[in-house]
Amino acid sequence: MLAAPDPNRWEGRRDKAMIALAVQTGLRVSELTSLNCADVTLGAGAAVRCEGKGRKQRTVPLGSPVQCLLQPWMIERGGRPTDPLFPTRTGRRLSRNAVAQRLNTHTATAAKRCPSLRDKDIHPHALRHSCAMSLSQAGVDTSVIALWLGHAGVRSTDAYVHTDMSTKEKALALTTPLTAKPGRYRPTDKKLAFLDRL
């Protein structure tokens, strides 16, 4: 998806920065479209500030790959601190529908190189899920994921733990195989004598 936006077009550079920011931060589409230029801090302590559900403020740190996309975008974008970070060509805020339409366009482009995307419905909320799943697969505690995503409680985050097959596969690998005999291992006298000689 990140390779799909055309880097030779203004909209492509905007969309690439927007998608990367959405996937790394897990912002809701409403949070993403309401970002202003002043909400992003780059360099030491890089982060994005947003207002989530219930007017709750939160700050999410930014990794260097996202900073590398945002920095040139923000220079090209220009604008005052209160201007939208990801505007339309006329300078207005992108709507939720506009973001969804941009994702559909880029999904269709990406599907040419990645056929598994052909039948996928990639909506803006899927980017939020991608962020949550990568945090979960990295072993981040669900309470931290809840804070990261701006959830009111940890229960909303439990769904990511339940859908993460790699975590379940790791848990399965730690269990005793069905073919193992129950009980405790008792080495033979011959093996004990061999170990004594070491």
pLDDT per residue as tens, the chain (198 positions): 888 999 999 999 999 999 999 998 988 899 999 999 999 999 989 999 988 777 788 889 999 999 999 999 999 999 899 999 999 999 999 999 999 999 999 999 999 998 888 888 788 888 888 888 888 777 777 777 877 787 665 555 555 554 556 655 665 566 666 666 666 777 888 888 888 887
Taking residue 188's Cβ as centre, other Cβ atoms within 10 Å add up to 8
User: Hey, which residues are catalytic here?
Assistant: 28, 53, 125, 128, 151, 160
Q: What is the CA radius of gyration of the chain?
A: 23
Residue (of 82, 76, 87) closest to 18 by Cα position: 87
Q: Which amino acid is at 193?
A: A
**Separation of alpha carbons 86 and 96, rounded Å:** 12
Output the pLDDT for position 103: 92
What's residue 69's pLDDT? 95
Per-residue pLDDT, 121 = 77
pTM of the predicted model over 0.85: no
Residue 1: per-residue pLDDT: 84
Burial of 53 (0-12, 13-18, 19+ CB in 10 A): exposed
Q: Which residues contact 46 (CB under 8 A, 6 or more apart)?
A: 61, 62, 63, 64, 67
The answer for residues whose C-beta is within 8 angstroms of residue 158's C-beta and 6 or more apart is 142
Other CB atoms within a 10 A radius of the CB of residue 141 amount to: 12
